Amino acid sequence: MSALNPYRPGLFISLEGIDGAGKSTQLQTVVDVLRAANRQVMLTREPGGTEIGEKIRELLLHETMRPATEALLMFAARQEHVLRVIEPALLGGTDVVCDRFTAATLAYQGGGKGIPTERLEALARWVHPGLCPDCIILIDVPPEVAAQRLEQTRQRDRFEQESVDFFARVRANYLQQAASSPEKWRVIDGTQTPEAVQKTITGYLNKVLQEFDSK
């Protein structure tokens, strides 16, 4: 059973960070560490992960909408994702590595766009009651660094086009979440080389797995 969530055997890990943090580069690192420990692993993403979720993702990334609509669509996609993909995998003993989860909604739609935290948390309790990642890896970079990296992206989506001030608010919210639950979060300096970030993630996850195996 999961060391942190004893009702299910799979380990649930999410990777978080503002756009341009280098998060996507490290997703495979997480998968590789788990597989090296002979664990079954599934990699997925949010918004997305299901046929309906991927259609909602396209709307969210490319269509202009109000922040409340954005948040509701995020949770609509998450509902399908949790029920059809994440929970079945975890209950079946497969580890789930997710590119963003509810922490991202709290940071982007809450911290970035001003939707009250209590509203988002109420939606989270409705959509996935009792389910949260066992550990959350936040790859943290200043928004100015992220902006420089995003300039190299040929075609940026609606979120990637947001201002530096917006990403500063998102980052602040992420760090606030991490500070409130240090036992669950690991903040990693994303301004390091990709190799250094990879090494830090590997060391952290090996400790998580040791804790898991000791239970």
The domain containing residue 125 runs over which residues? 12-214
- pLDDT(36) > 90: yes
Domain count, the chain: 1
> Would you say residue 2 has pLDDT above 70?
no
The CATH number of the domain where 94 resides is what?
3.40.50.300
pLDDT of 42 higher than 80 = yes
Instruction: Work out the burial of residue 72: count CB atoms within 10 Å of its CB; fewer than 13 is exposed, 13-18 middle, 19 or more buried.
Output: middle
Does residue 73 carry a pLDDT above 80? yes
**Residue 1 placed within a domain:** no
Is residue 44, in this structure, part of any structural domain at all?
Answer: yes
Token pair recorded at residue 130: 């009792």
Which residue ranges are tagged as binding site for ATP? 17-24
7 domain-assigned:
no
Is residue 98 pLDDT above 50, yes or no? yes
Take residue 67 and report the two structure tokens written for it: 């922040």
6 lies in a domain?
no
pTM across the whole model:
0.92
Q: What is the share, in percent, of the chain residues with pLDDT greater than 70?
A: 94
For the segment 159-185, the average pLDDT, to the nearest whole number, is 95
Q: Please state the residue numbers annotated as binding site.
A: 17-24
